[in-house]
Structure 1
Amino acid sequence: MDVVFFIKKLVIVLISPISIVLILGLLALLALLWGKTKRAGVLMALSLFLVWAASFNPIGDSLMRSHEHGLRAFQYNDDLDVSVIHVLGGGHSESPRYATGAQLSSSSLARVIEGVRIAQLYPEARLVFSGYEGYMGVNKLTNAEAAKALATSIGMDEDRIDLLTEAKDTREEAIDVADMVGEGQLILVTSASHMPRALAIFHQEGLKPLPAPTYFLGHDQSSDYTPSIEALNKTQRYFYEQVGLMWIKLRAWLDQ
């Protein structure tokens, strides 16, 4: 299972915009070494155009805005009988130099804060954090434990928190939380960019969560028309999520 997980991550990395640009640049270098100067020029021009387009703010915002379309922040509803608020795992990096919250990635930090906010609205619900230590083996704490540490540091009651520390991806998170939901409502907290894929996976596992998206990447208006790392990250994330959605559809087709 760990091998399959690693291969899946590797494939997603290789077909990302950054990887494609680097591959085109390498092919251009090889063509130049082989004396194919015209072909090398075409490949290099294509790689430069792609890296510019991928890092152009209006393009990144437009892609993410279309992907996150229809998602809104969760609003309190007194009619809901909420039993579980499930905060999906994200990245984190351990260091004795970092404060508790600084160990979490930006997206994971936003998820934890949103989970705590909703838990305050529904004091009878369990707050569940999921996520393992990361496949690079650099962390001792799991992401779920790091998220709990932040939640308790900002006032969340430790007795209301449950941890799912073995889940390595969204499907495993859905499987692990299924037995905890019972007859009540499940609220799903994750990044807005990840929410469409997360909902599709949870539905495939027989769960019907209410979405609570956070950490929106697609801005309604792009005021900056210069290339930037932030825009490149949005484009990268868009393609990552599209590949994930295609994989879900393929898996559903294979299961049939």
Structure 2
Amino acid sequence: MNTLAELVVSLSYPPALSLCLLGIAVLAWVVRRRWIAGSVAGAALAWSALWSIPFASETLRGVLEHRYAIREASALPSADAIVVLGGGSNYAWLDREDVDPTRLRSSRLAAGARAWHAGKASKVILSGGGVGNTTEARRMADAIQRLGVPEEALMLEERSHDTRDNARFSTALASEHGGRHLLLVTSALHMPRAKLLFTQAGADVTPVPVPEGRPAVGLRERWLPSRRALWRSGRAFKEFAALTAAWIGARAH
């Protein structure tokens, strides 16, 4: 089951599937099934071409990203802890002299900091594993303190290597400190899967989705094919595949 899921995820990036289809087209050509070869090759090229169009990419992503509304920190309920999942930023804003969390609309850490400053929870759990002193949770801790969240408010979850680990270990850490109602901060694209896995782990989750970048505007940005749009489409397909695997896993149990 895991091997099949990994195969599906590996083919979720459109060019990967297109290459596989082109391989099938070559085999069909070799065995003199020319019309099949031409049809499969055309489909392979059309598949990647379609998902390199920003409008198509954003429409696909919107199915996941619009599942939960983005709210201001003041509109969030109070919770036992704020959980911020790693993987959302390279923290380029750390190089700025003055960092304002209200202006970092696409930063998970900034969203967590805004919720903490709004008094929605006294603790912030930073979830991300790694090796030794280089865990993602520790890098996140250094960064979020620049946004005004003090060290004493932070709890680090440093054992996780995927979203399922994030859910299991973060929920356990929150429970050890007296609660399971969590404000879950991750990207809007990742939120449906993250919420499902945290709920499976026993948490009571309020989603705090964070947008990934600004939407495309203007005729050129929306319709001119680009590598960025193709990459963003691939991330969406990966999430759909992983979400389906998580849902099937939940049904199996």
TM range (shorter): 0.7 to 0.9
AA aligned to 1:55 is S
Residue of structure 2 aligned with 1:118, choices 95, 109, 115: 115
Counterpart of 1:229 in structure 2 is: 227
Counterpart of 1:188 in structure 2 is: 184
Counterpart of 1:204 in structure 2 is: 200
> TM-score scaled by structure 1?
0.78
Unaligned runs of 5+ in 1: none
Q: Does structure 1 residue 132 correspond to structure 2 residue 125?
A: no
CA contact (8 A) 1:61 1:222 kept: no
Counterpart of 1:247 in structure 2 is: 245
Q: CA 1:220/1:56 → structure 2, altered by over 3 Å: closer, same or farther?
A: closer
Q: Does structure 1 residue 215 correspond to structure 2 residue 211?
A: yes
Return 148-157 or 158-167, whichever deviates more.
Answer: 148-157
Residue 177 of structure 1 aligns to a residue in which SS?
helix
Q: Does structure 1 residue 13 correspond to structure 2 residue 10?
A: yes
> TM-score scaled by structure 2?
0.79
Counterpart of 1:166 in structure 2 is: 159
Residue 82 of structure 1 aligns to a residue in which SS?
coil
Q: CA 1:32/1:70 → structure 2, altered by over 3 Å: closer, same or farther?
A: closer
CA–CA separation in structure 2 for the residues paired with 1:178 and 1:184: 7
Q: CA 1:62/1:93 → structure 2, altered by over 3 Å: closer, same or farther?
A: closer
Residue 223 of structure 2 aligns to a residue in which SS?
coil
CA contact (8 A) 1:189 1:214 kept: yes
Counterpart of 2:101 in structure 1 is: none
CA–CA separation in structure 2 for the residues paired with 1:122 and 1:235: 36
Q: Does structure 1 residue 85 correspond to structure 2 residue 82?
A: yes
CA–CA separation in structure 1 for the residues paired with 2:58 and 2:218: 7
CA–CA separation in structure 2 for the residues paired with 1:230 and 1:113: 24
Residue 155 of structure 1 aligns to a residue in which SS?
coil
User: Once the two structures are superposed, what CA deviation does each residue of 1:8-57 show, in whole Å capped at 9, x if it has no partner?
Assistant: 54541134423111111233344455665544332221111111111112
CA contact (8 A) 1:100 1:149 kept: no
Percent of aligned positions with the same letter in both sequences?
26
